[in-house]
Amino acid sequence: MAAAVLLGVAVLVGCGSAGSSDTSMSRAPSGLPSGSPTATGDAPPPPSPSQSPSQSPIPSKSPSKSPSPSRDDATETLVRVTRSGGIAGRTHTLIVKGDGSWTRLDVKAQPTGTGKLSPQELDALRAALAKADFAHLPRVSTGGPVIYDGYTYAFVHGGFEVASDQGSMPPALDAVLDALPPFTG
């Protein structure tokens, strides 16, 4: 009961005086502290020259930006590939980190295996990914022969996602598949 009374008081205090019908009173948008410039009636600070009021202050990541050597390769995802279909109609995902460690996930995103690529295997995967040139691949590859009970693949690398079924797979993506660890253990 005391919590409900406190909540009611907080609502009344947040809305101004209980009997007030003055709709011209400025209120702070939710999430602003009561001492913020907007809440006290002061003008908000002007936007910086590089930022208009509608822009987010968080810098955006450019997909064409080359990877920085200072990034943490152990946590940076190098490539994620999801394979679904086949005779059993199963889905598996492989996530390979920049340091070569990999995790295999089932359809419920539960780990079913882990490992680490050798330095030579990691170099081969990186070379295949670079040669594939994800920025210029079609987002969805189609037009190849239908392979009944074949697989469908979704690749995510360098900020790009491309998908293909087994019959329409571009050769560059076949090379990426060849450089990956197995989808099943």
Task: State residue 89's pLDDT score.
Answer: 86
Task: State residue 144's pLDDT score.
Answer: 84
Task: State residue 185's pLDDT score.
Answer: 80
Q: What is the pLDDT along the chain (185 residues), one digit of tens a residue?
A: 433 333 333 333 344 444 444 443 433 444 444 444 444 444 444 444 444 444 434 443 444 444 444 455 678 999 999 999 988 889 999 999 999 999 999 999 999 999 999 999 999 999 999 999 999 999 998 888 888 889 999 999 999 999 999 999 999 999 999 999 999 88
Q: Which two tokens stand for residue 108?
A: 């419920």
Q: What is the pTM of this model?
A: 0.60
On whether the CB atoms of residues 184 and 92 are closer than 8 A, the answer is yes
On whether the CB atoms of residues 90 and 108 are closer than 8 A, the answer is no
Cross-strand pairs, 155: 81, 162
Amino acid at 101: S
On whether the CB atoms of residues 177 and 81 are closer than 8 A, the answer is yes
Q: Which of 162, 163, 164, 167 is nearest to 148 (CA)?
A: 167
- Annotated domain spans of the chain: 77-179
Task: State residue 20's pLDDT score.
Answer: 40
How does strand 90-97 pair with strand 111-116?
unpaired
